[in-house]
Amino acid sequence: MNQRQLDLPCMLGDVGLSEEAGEDGTDTDVTNRGELHVHLNGAIPAATIREILIDEATALPADFQFERDLVRTEPCQSLAEYLTAWQFLRLFPRKRENLDRLTLAAVAGLAENKVSFVELRSSVLYLAALQKCSPAQALERLIESTGEAAQRHGIRRGLIVTVTRGDYSAVNLSTLLQAYQDLGEPKDVIGLDLAGDEEMAYPAELPSLFREAKDRFGLGITIHAGETGRVENVWSAVEHFGADRIGHGTAAGKDPELLELLSARGICVEVCPISNRLTGAVPTDEAHPLQQFRRYGVPFVICSDNPAIHDRGLADDQAAAMAEGLSIGDMQQQYEVAKRYSFMKDLN
């Protein structure tokens, strides 16, 4: 582990975005934040997860340790290591009331970070399996639960439905879109996301299914791409999936032609600085590509990805972005940038 890895937590503390004043006494004026890339099950505080697992008497691996296996505060050897927490993040909630409990806790964490609007992601189908209900019922529960939690905290929220890469991605997307139609195309659902292992192949028809959903329902498209160095996945996201936004996109920083394309088309990169360092998407001895995004005029929004897994929040990600070279001025523009590239309508 090099110095940069060791420095990450203190680095964040050192440049923590004061709500009153910056390091140089300048008013940072960060009174509102918009969050465009956060996974619901990566935003549940560890204490809430523990309560739910106990309540549902969920069996965990014998060698499971909460602090070691859930929270990530130091760079992982690989994205796979970072993702080990998802082995049990998909074991709950089996009870409807625990869905309410976890969404309330996740949204409370966003409120603490002065988030006034959020696009929450969930892959819905695991919830249907856990709660032994149809995909449409699972989506309806998610809409109700997140809607109530957001209302209680005075936050506006939209839902992005996540599809996981792999053999079943096309079937799963069709199932999810059918559920969405069965519910009368609720306005709460604002977009589609592709996530999961970027090395994994997917059916040839998947990109056209995304584009059709965009054209037919007006859903925004965001694709996790370029997080593990595969720049071709970013190209594919833009040219085949019709992506409006790119999740992470860190590999794009090394491809000037792609940076020019992202800039020309106004495709926004969802930059998650803490996540990128912890997953190794940005090697510890390299500068974060957000400087490249800025240089080429590629729009970007700072996001938190899985704040509870990092034991951090969006405010910390903004501080991390400043540690990576952004200015207070950049940060002051973030709320407006997030609004501009949000899939939610009528944000004022």
Considering the complex, state which of residue 17 and residue 160 has its C-beta at the smaller distance from Zn ion.
Answer: 160
What character string, x for contact with Zn ion (CB under 5 A) and - otherwise, covers 57-76? --------------------
Q: Rounded to the nearest whole angstrom, what is the least distance from the CB of residue 246 to Zn ion in the complex? A: 11
Q: Choose between 206 and 272: whose C-beta lies nearer to Zn ion.
A: 272
Assigned token pair, 90:
């998909």
- Angstrom distances, CA of residue 95 to CA of 130, 133, 142, 229, 256: 8, 11, 12, 39, 49
Q: Under the criterion CB under 5 A, does residue 119 sit at the interface with Zn ion?
A: no
Shortest distance (Å) from residue 317 CB to Zn ion: 12
Binding mask 259-298 toward Zn ion (x if CB under 5 A, else -) reads: ----------------------------------------
**Which span sits near Zn ion by CB under 5 A: 7-15, 50-58, 75-83, 305-313?**
305-313
192: CB partners within 8 A, 6+ apart? 160, 161, 162, 163, 173, 210, 213, 214, 219, 220, 221, 222
Sole window of 22-30, 146-154, 163-171, 304-312 interacting with Zn ion (rule: CB under 5 A): 304-312
Interacting stretch for Zn ion, rule CB under 5 A, among 172-180, 252-260, 302-310, 338-346? 302-310
User: Would you say 21 or 200 has its CB closer to Zn ion?
Assistant: 200
When the beta carbons of 22 and 82 are compared against Zn ion, the nearer one is 82
Shortest CB 207 distance to Zn ion, Å: 19
Q: How far is CA 80 from CA 44, 77, 149, 197, 334, in A?
A: 20, 8, 31, 8, 30
* The two structure tokens encoding residue 45: 């505080």
The H or E element containing residue 47 is helix 46-55
- Which lies closer to Zn ion via its Cβ, residue 83 or residue 347? 83
Bond from prior residue into 93 cis (ω within 30 degrees of 0) = yes
324 binds Zn ion (CB under 5 A): no
Bridge partners for 193 per DSSP? 162, 222
**Please, what is the minimum distance in Å from the beta carbon of residue 241 to Zn ion?**
16
Task: Tell me the closest approach of the beta carbon of residue 219 to Zn ion, in angstroms.
Answer: 18
Question: Which 3 state secondary structure label does DSSP give 269?
Answer: strand
Number of Cβ within 10 Å of residue 239's Cβ equals: 11
Give 188 or 305: the residue with its C-beta nearer to Zn ion. Answer: 305
Q: Distance between CA 164 and CA 168 in Å, rounded? A: 8
Please give the C-alpha separations between residue 316 and each of 156, 215, 330, in angstroms, as whole numbers. 21, 36, 15
Nearer to Zn ion, 142 or 160 (CB): 160
Which two structure tokens, joined as six digits, stand for 344? 């939610």
Task: Determine if 305 is a binding residue for Zn ion (CB under 5 A).
Answer: yes
Tokens of 120: 């929450």
Residue facing Zn ion at closest CB distance: 305
Beta carbon of residue 179, minimum distance to Zn ion (angstroms, whole number): 22
Instruction: Rank residues 145 and 164 by Cβ distance to Zn ion and give the closer one.
Output: 164
Helical residues (DSSP H) of 113-168, grouped into ranges: 125-130, 135-152
DSSP assigned state of 250: G
Q: Using CB under 5 A as the criterion, which residues of the chain lie in contact with Zn ion when the complex forms?
A: 305
